[in-house]
Amino acid sequence: MSELHVMSERKSPLVLAPDGIGIGKSLSVTKVRKTYGTMTAVDEVSMEIGAGEFVTFLGSSGSGKTTTLMMIAGFVEPDSGSIVVGGRDVTRLAPQKRGLGFVFQQYLLFPHMTVSENVAFPLELRGLSKQDIRNRVGETLEMAGLSRFARRRPRELSGGQQQRVALCRALVYRPPVILMDEPLGALDKKLRDQLQTEIKRIQRELGLTVIYVTHDQEEALVLSDRIAVMRDGRIDQFDTPQELFERPRTPFVADFLGAANFLPGTVESDGAVRLDTGGVVRTRRHDHAAGARVQAAVQPGRLAVCAPEDGFCTGIVETVTYVGTLVRVTIRPDGAGSTIRLEIPAGRAPLMGDRVGLTADPDDVSVFDAAGTGG
Ligand SMILES: Nc1ncnc2c1ncn2[C@@H]1O[C@H](COP(=O)(O)OP(=O)(O)OP(=O)(O)O)[C@@H](O)[C@H]1O
């Protein structure tokens, strides 16, 4: 049998997928909605997730990420809409009948059990034989580099090791979809980086479908095949990291992903915006009519300094901060306008107090209207 079947009832038969590629299943979320009193937490969210895809819900606090994940998990019941996993409608099924795996920020390990016993627990619930359990636990601990900790109890492990055990416990019965809610939120940066790499490796090795919640854009960019950027219970854009970065559809996405600079101005023609600071910036194609009030958006890493006469904007260098091989520069534009931020290679850094011009490739300049519609 090529598919994984996980039965939730005790002592029911369990057929494990053969090791290797491709146990992930696809997921369709259609118009799911959840309200609490008069507050709409999730507003008709729809998305199609492919088998084996790593998808992240990214957004600020309260944007509806966890509620959406919990509806997929079955812990929160949607007011309307449907959730289909691998072709099966699970909208009204209890969480344990959906065959999904979970990893949360809190490790929720059993303190009195050893690492092995913790990881074996989901298999015991499912009634596997002792031999099968031993084999499967051994394989899973090895995959996560935890074999030597098998006999320890959770309190004898570091936070990172405990989170790895939690990951093993979710992986051990090879669910076709794993849901993770800020699983690395409690760990320091170095450990987070290390575990991100491991999660990604295991996900690829098993061909798992993963839905991951975070508010950390860097983490989302590192891990994801696609990212759903959420705001006020809706998805602003659901795209690959590259598309989100290079073709943000809303100012929110441009700002959230890359801390974009927004330069107010008026459209002169398709491809040219006269900025309030005076110069004309060339932009990518857009649908805004000549004369429309817009904002041109450009990421700090896509701006360059040039001679003042060659720039679409001029200003005085206010700060220059070295961050490894990159330099962060802020520029106070001549005339009105807020500070403009650049990120440029260290070798090209101007000096504080220099008067410089700014340039950008037109393809890196998005145009949005005041209401936040892209173009
Ligand atoms: N059980 C609940 N009762 C009432 N309101 C709720 C409940 N759960 C969530 N909410 C509200 O729904 C909105 C979305 O919450 P949700 O936890 O999904 O956001 P989030 O994007 O995951 O935020 P965070 O990153 O802070 O976890 C918030 O305004 C929250 O206060």
14: three-class secondary structure by DSSP: coil
**Of the candidates 246, 278, 305, which is a domain's last residue?**
246
Q: Is residue 138 part of a domain?
A: no
Residue 89: the pLDDT is 96
Could you identify the residue written with the tokens 């980086």? 193
Residue 142: the pLDDT is 87
Say whether both 43 and 183 belong to one domain: yes
Say whether both 337 and 215 belong to one domain: no
Q: Which residue spans within 270-375 are E strands per DSSP? A: 272-275, 280-282, 293-298, 304-306, 313-323, 326-333, 340-345, 355-359, 366-369
Residue 370: the pLDDT is 64
Q: Is residue 276 part of a domain?
A: yes
Per the structure, the complete domain to which residue 227 belongs is given by: 27-100+175-246
Residue 145: the pLDDT is 83
Say whether both 342 and 299 belong to one domain: yes
List phi, psi (to 5°) of 101.
Answer: -105, 150
Residue 213: the pLDDT is 95
Residue 371: the pLDDT is 62
Residue 224 sits in a domain whose CATH number is 3.40.50.300
Say whether both 240 and 283 belong to one domain: no
Mean pLDDT by 10 residues, the chain (375 residues): 32 38 86 96 96 94 94 95 95 90 82 94 88 91 88 90 88 90 83 86 89 92 94 95 85 84 90 89 89 92 92 93 89 86 88 94 88 52
Q: What is the ipTM of this complex?
A: 0.95
Report residue 116 as tokens.
Answer: 């092995």
**Of the candidates 246, 277, 296, which is a domain's last residue?**
246
User: For ligand 1, is residue 64 a contact (CB within 6 Å)?
Assistant: yes
Helices 159-171 and 115-125 pack at an angle, to 10 degrees, of 20
User: For ligand 1, is residue 215 a contact (CB within 6 Å)?
Assistant: yes
Cβ distance 181 to 214 under 8 Å? no
For residue 233, the ligand 1 atom closest to its alpha carbon is 14
The closest residue, in CA terms, to atom 29 on ligand 1 is 62
Distance, CA of 273 to CA of 294 (rounded, Å): 8
Query: What's the domain count of the chain?
Result: 2
Q: Is residue 10 part of a domain?
A: no
Mutational pocket test of ligand 1: of 45, 56, 61, 215, the residue with most ligand atoms within 8 Å of the beta carbon? 61
